[in-house]
Amino acid sequence: MLATHGSVDRMSTAALHRSLDVAASPVDAFSTLCEVEKWPVWLSFLRSARRLDSGKFGLGSEVAIRSAIPGDEEEVYEVDRFLEGHVVSLVGAFSVRRRIDFRIESKSTRSKIVARIDYPAYGGVIGALLDRITARRRLDAALGDSLVHFKGLVEFKTDGGEAILDF
C-alpha cells in the first residue's frame, strides 16, 4: 500500500540526501530497514527509536525517536508513505515539515539505499545560516556514515552471519 500527499515528493532545497550501494538483496535491505529498534545501531544521529504501536510495521505506524543531541526531547513520527520492499517515509507527528525518507532500489542481486532528511531551521535568516554552518553539516556527515553502517549491517547478515546487537 502506498499513500502519497501532494508535497511528499518535492524535496526542499535544504533537505539532506545520501545514497549508497549495498551488496545485498532488496528484500534483505528492506527487512533491515524496517527493524525500527535497530535504527540507533546504524543511524548514528539517533540515541533511541521505538515503535509506539504493535503489529506489522507499515503505513500509519508510529515511531518515537530521540536524537543524539543532548537535551533533545523524544519526537513522534508517523509512517505516511510505505511501499513494501521499497519505501518508508516518516513525517513528524506534530510538524509535517520534519521528514525522514528511506528508499530501497533494486539492482538485481544488489540494492541501493537512498536516505533523505528534511527539517526546518527556525530563527529567520540568522537561524538558517547558523544551522547551515553547524548542525546541518554534522547531520549530513552523520547521514553518510549511517549509510555505511547500514551497508555493513545488511551485508554481514547476508553473508550468513548473525548480527549480535546489545541494547
Residue 6: inside a domain, yes or no? no
Q: What is the pLDDT of residues 14-44, one digit of tens each?
A: 788 999 999 999 999 999 999 999 999 999 8
Domain that holds residue 32: 16-158
User: pLDDT at residue 3 above 50?
Assistant: no
pTM for this model (two decimals): 0.79
Q: What is the pLDDT of residue 138?
A: 81
Q: What is the pLDDT of residues 55-97, one digit of tens each?
A: 999 999 999 999 876 667 889 999 999 999 999 999 998 876 7
| DSSP code, position 98 | -
First to last CA, the chain: 32
Task: Band the pLDDT of 156: cuts 50, 70, 90.
Answer: confident
What CATH number does residue 42 fall under? 3.30.530.20
- Joined grid coordinates for residue 157: 547478515
Q: Which of 110, 107, 119, 103 is nearest to 33 (CA)?
A: 103
Residue 138: inside a domain, yes or no? yes
How many helices (H) and strands (E) the chain has is answered by: 4, 7
